[in-house]
Amino acid sequence: METTAAEFFLALINIVFLDLILAGDNAIVIGLAARNLPQETQKKAIIYGTGGAVILRIIATILVVWLLNIPWLLLVGGILLIGIAYKLMTDNNSDHNNIKAGKSLGAAIRTIIVADAAMGLDNVIAVAGAAKHNVILVALGLLISVPIVVWGSTLFIKLINRFPWIIYVGSAVLAYTASSMITEEKHFSGYFEGHLLIKYLFIAAIILGVLTAGHLKKRSAKRQHTSSGS
């Protein structure tokens, strides 16, 4: 399927944004894993650990892009991504007590790579869905976004804390990617392509459903927290 330059760059922007919005935890892990090392060694641990994580992430995403060609896996991936979009809104991402600080450069690098691989499923599925089977987009998106995560992670986390609506935008983009994946599933694509209004209504309903459910869950959690604290 031919991709225009505009579609390519829009998809690339989408991938970079998804990587950034989902990378808060990964940035925290990087900091925690390297916190006990001397300052000059910390930089090496972050660079080498992140480099290893990026290579692993690119391989995993390309594998998922290939797997999404298998019948029904676009549907499964889309459903998983809807769950991730909801989780993004409702998680407070505050529990990182199980991340041990490395006492040596090698230990810190291993911790960063292993923790990133364990926590990177959401990124992999989201990027694979947004890439529309384009491996170049996967590699470019990760190569652009990962350095931003490593060197600008603190700033980005502060931005999210200061402007909570960024999380809503991120969840909406994830829900859009998820619903688009479902409409592109081979068993459904013929129907949706023939009924564009139904396709866009379906996508809008998924986005609205995720944002509404997430917002209600956040309000409920806030009320419980307020009542338990009083």
Using one digit for the tens of pLDDT, what is the confidence trace for 64-122? 888 877 888 888 888 988 988 888 788 754 445 455 555 678 877 777 777 666 666 66
Per-residue pLDDT reduced to its tens digit, 157-197: 567 778 888 888 888 988 998 898 899 888 887 788 778 88
Comparison of pLDDT for 52 and 29, the residue scoring more: 52
Task: Work out the percent of the chain whose per-residue pLDDT is above 90.
Answer: 9
Q: In percent, how much of the chain has pLDDT > 70? A: 76
User: Does position 36 have pLDDT exceeding 80, yes or no?
Assistant: no
Query: Do 169 and 72 form a contact (C-beta atoms < 8 A)?
Result: no
Phi, psi torsion values for 176, nearest 5 degrees: -65, -45
Q: What is the pLDDT of residue 152?
A: 57
Interval 138-157: pLDDT, tens: 888 877 776 766 665 556 65
Q: What is the pLDDT of residues 40-62, one digit of tens each?
A: 787 788 778 878 877 887 888 88
* DSSP alpha helix (H) spans, the chain: 5-21, 24-33, 39-67, 73-90, 105-119, 121-130, 135-162, 165-184, 186-194, 196-229
Least reliable range by pLDDT among 5-9, 178-182, 215-219: 5-9
Find the angle CA(141)-CA(45)-CA(111) to the nearest 5 degrees.
Answer: 85
